[in-house]
Amino acid sequence: YSQEAEGSWFRSLFVHKVDPRKDAHSNLLSKRETSNLYKIQFHNVKPECLETYNKLTEEVLPKLHSDPDYPCDLVGNWNTWYGEQDQAVHLWRFSGGYPALMDCMNKLRQNKEYLDFRKERSRMLLSRRNQLLLEFSFWNEPQPRQGPNIYELRTYKLKPGTMIEWGNNW
């Protein structure tokens, strides 16, 4: 063990420090070997429709997105118990980044079953919101899981220009 652990070769095996450059901070902290883009959807469902909504999405979404022509995977589907009530959350992975997202969206606009699903779903929603996410290089890729699980979703509000410092400390 060296007193100068910051510069030791052993420490460099475990810690990946990012140096600030002129590139976008999110690009510097995201994985380079993969080009996955994630979309997380938050649907606030009318309380009386939550059970019907869940049945509809369990029936339609996996079937639509099991098609190999769609460059996306449904990674997770769940309802919230704390915070926003009667909320459904869907996590999608797009293999191929933004071009895959656009390809998938364009194909879905032409898919009658999906358009019918959206029309029926819209009668059950109060509001909806999407976010696009890049995977950080220091986190594992999310994998679908069976059974009842508990997930904690966090939002960090950072001062502009501090994302690299936050990532290095994480």
Distance, in Å, from the CA atom of 167 to the CA atom of 170, rounded to the nearest integer, reads 5
Mind spelling out the 3-state secondary structure of 42-76?
EEEECHHHHHHHHHHHHHHHHHHHCCCCCCEEEEE
Task: Note whether residue 49 is domain-resident.
Answer: yes
pTM of this prediction? 0.74
For the chain, the 3-state helix, strand and coil shares in percent, each to the nearest 5, are 35, 25, 40
Task: Note whether residue 61 is domain-resident.
Answer: yes
Which tokens go with 27?
């690009």
Q: Which of 74, 108, 107 is nearest to 93 (CA)?
A: 74
For the chain, what is the domain count? 1
What range does the domain containing 85 cover? Answer: 28-135
Task: Note whether residue 152 is domain-resident.
Answer: no
Q: From first to last of its 170 residues, what are the pLDDT tens digits of the chain?
A: 444 444 454 454 455 555 555 555 555 555 554 578 999 999 999 999 999 999 999 999 888 778 888 888 898 889 998 888 999 999 999 988 899 999 999 999 999 999 999 999 999 999 999 999 887 766 677 777 787 888 888 888 888 888 778 777 77
Task: Note whether residue 70 is domain-resident.
Answer: yes
